[in-house]
Amino acid sequence: MSHARLSQPSRRGILAAGGALGLTAALAACGNDKKDGDSKGEGGAAKSGPWSFKDDRGETAKRDTTPKNIVAFTGVAAALFDYGIECKGVFGPTKTKDGKADVQAGDMDISKLTIIGNEWGQFKIEKYASLAPDLLISTMFDDQGTLWYVPEESKKKVLKLGAPSVGISVYDRQMNQPLQRILALAESLGADVKADKVVKAKKRFEAASERLRKVAKANKDIKVLVGSASQELLYVSGTNLSADLEYFKALGVNFVEPPEKAKKESGGWFENLSWENVDQYHADVIMMDNRTSAIQPADLDKSKPTWKKLPAVKAGQVIPRVTEPIYSYAKCAPILEDLADAIEKAKKLKKAA
């Protein structure tokens, strides 16, 4: 997706453009997050009888029986898949140009999925209707209840087809909250959340969170910059608004924080830097957007001389950022483990001359 959309910024446009988003683990360092048990009354019967689920817009989706023909944003579908719930159709980045599974597709076999739309602005309504959907699910990156990757211009037509919708917020909260919400949603749809696989994944996430907290505390001087690259700009993310970064910050990770004034153009998400000014902030570790919409470090090494001069790049202290996490415990635990590894191994670097 071109970054030309940034000339008239909106949260949806900015985030989809590939800019740096900015995603029971209520650790003491994480503030006053909700506990898993706080979803009272928000799920419904999973096996038979009426089904309902109260989403993060405060809206309750209802069906006479538990939905089976589910259509979801790719990342949500991938998370539900980890809990044994399979979606019939998906929309959002699912298949790369070479036909492989996009990073946001997780462990799903994309050959078995009906792809309603693979890119920003794509949502084939007729194909969606042909699936006879009984539930539509997506994440939300704002506080307006906007369903991610459901085009605004066709939203009314989509919702008129009869399937209730569920929105799970990943906006301005820590990542353990959407993790809890997706788990609750999966349980309402019939997932066995007490299965050994699920229990182990959750324990791994909790252990990874505790380890990252300890590593961050022991390495307070290691500065981490979060970026996303386009041909024209490097986007340096602040930690506010993004679920993953808010969580990492709560655990004590020391991030580069662009001033609020510098993030104004993006609605508070990130600062735009020209490639001539990418050395504006010093960092010991750089996390770069791993989405297919962003230019990856290997290509930056070949095309951006100023990138190669950054101390963290020279030191090989650049790691991927999973900018749109798949919100299952199994997928989020490795994100925390990798960040802890990077910080623990990182050398404190001198600023560029």
Instruction: State mean pLDDT over 166-182.
Output: 98
pLDDT at 289: 98
Contact 108, 101 (CB under 8 A): yes
Rg, C-alpha atoms of the chain = 20
Q: Would you place residue 40 in the very low, low, confident or very high pLDDT band (cuts 50, 70, 90)?
A: very low
pLDDT at 124: 97
Contact 13, 1 (CB under 8 A): no
Report CA 248 to chain centroid distance, whole Å. Answer: 13
Cα separation, 70 vs 63, in Å, equals 12
Average pLDDT over the chain reads 89
Q: Would you place residue 47 in the very low, low, confident or very high pLDDT band (cuts 50, 70, 90)?
A: low
Give the residue from 185, 290, 172 showing the smallest Cα distance to 238: 172
**Residue 47 DSSP label:** S
Contact 6, 13 (CB under 8 A): yes
Q: Give the pLDDT confidence of 74-87 residue by residue, as tens digits.
A: 999 999 999 999 99
Give the residue from 162, 164, 138 showing the smallest Cα distance to 151: 138
Cα separation, 267 vs 99, in Å, equals 34
Burial letters 290-313, b for 16+ CB under 10 A, else e: bbbbbbebeebeeebebbeebbbb
pLDDT at 328: 98
Residue type, 182: I
Interacting residues of 313 by C-beta distance below 8 A, sequence separation 6+: 286, 297, 301, 307
pLDDT at 303: 95
pLDDT at 9: 40
Residue 53 confidence (pLDDT) above 70: yes
pTM: 0.87
What percentage of residues in the chain have a pLDDT greater than 70?
86
pLDDT at 351: 87
Q: Locate 82 and state its tokens.
A: 């980890």
Q: Give the pLDDT confidence of 255-307 residue by residue, as tens digits.
A: 999 999 999 989 999 999 999 999 999 999 999 999 999 999 999 999 999 99
Residue 15 confidence (pLDDT) above 60: no
Residue 214 confidence (pLDDT) above 50: yes
Strands (E), the chain: 51-54, 60-63, 70-73, 89-91, 114-117, 135-140, 165-169, 224-229, 233-237, 270-274, 285-289, 318-321
Q: Would you place residue 353 in the very low, low, confident or very high pLDDT band (cuts 50, 70, 90)?
A: low
pLDDT at 210: 98
Residue 18 confidence (pLDDT) above 60: no
Give first-to-last CA distance, the chain, whole Å. Answer: 35
Q: Give the pLDDT confidence of 128-169 residue by residue, as tens digits.
A: 999 999 999 999 999 999 999 999 999 999 999 989 999 999
Cα separation, 250 vs 243, in Å, equals 11
